[in-house]
Amino acid sequence: MVYVAVLANINGNLPALAKALERIEELKEEGYEIEKYYVLGNIVGLFPYPREVLDTLDDLIKNNLVYVTRGEYDQVIAESDPHAEGPDYIDRVDYPEYIKKALKYTWEKLGHEGREFIRDLPVYIVDKIGKNDIFGVYGSPLDPIHGKVLPDQPSSYYEVIMRPVKDYEILFVASPRYPVNARTRYGRVVCPGSIGYPPGKKHKATFALVNVDTLHTKFVEVDYENEKRLIEERIRREGLPEELVKILYHGRV
Check residue 65 and give its pLDDT: 84
The structure's pTM equals 0.96
Residue 32 DSSP code: -
Quote the CA–CA distance of 111 and 133 in Å, as a whole number.
36
CA 248-139-227 angle, to 5 degrees, is: 20
Quote the CA–CA distance of 35 and 123 in Å, as a whole number.
22
Quote the CA–CA distance of 2 and 58 in Å, as a whole number.
23
Question: Would you say residue 64 has pLDDT above 80?
Answer: no
Check residue 84 and give its pLDDT: 84
Query: What domains can you pick out in the chain, each with its CATH number?
Result: 2-127+192-250 (3.60.21.10)
Contact between residue 180 and residue 171 where contact means Cβ atoms under 8 Å apart: no
Residue 42 preceded by cis peptide, ω within 30? yes
pLDDT digits (tens, 9 = 90+) for 73-114: 999 999 998 988 899 999 999 999 999 999 999 999 999 999
Amino acid at 164: P
End-to-end CA distance of the chain: 41
Quote the CA–CA distance of 233 and 40 in Å, as a whole number.
28
Check residue 90 and give its pLDDT: 97
State the DSSP H helix or E strand holding residue 108, giving kind and residue range, or none if neither: helix 97-119
pLDDT digits (tens, 9 = 90+) for 124-161: 999 999 999 999 999 999 999 999 999 999 999 999 99
**Dihedral angle, C-alpha 209, 181, 215, 121, nearest 10 °:** -60
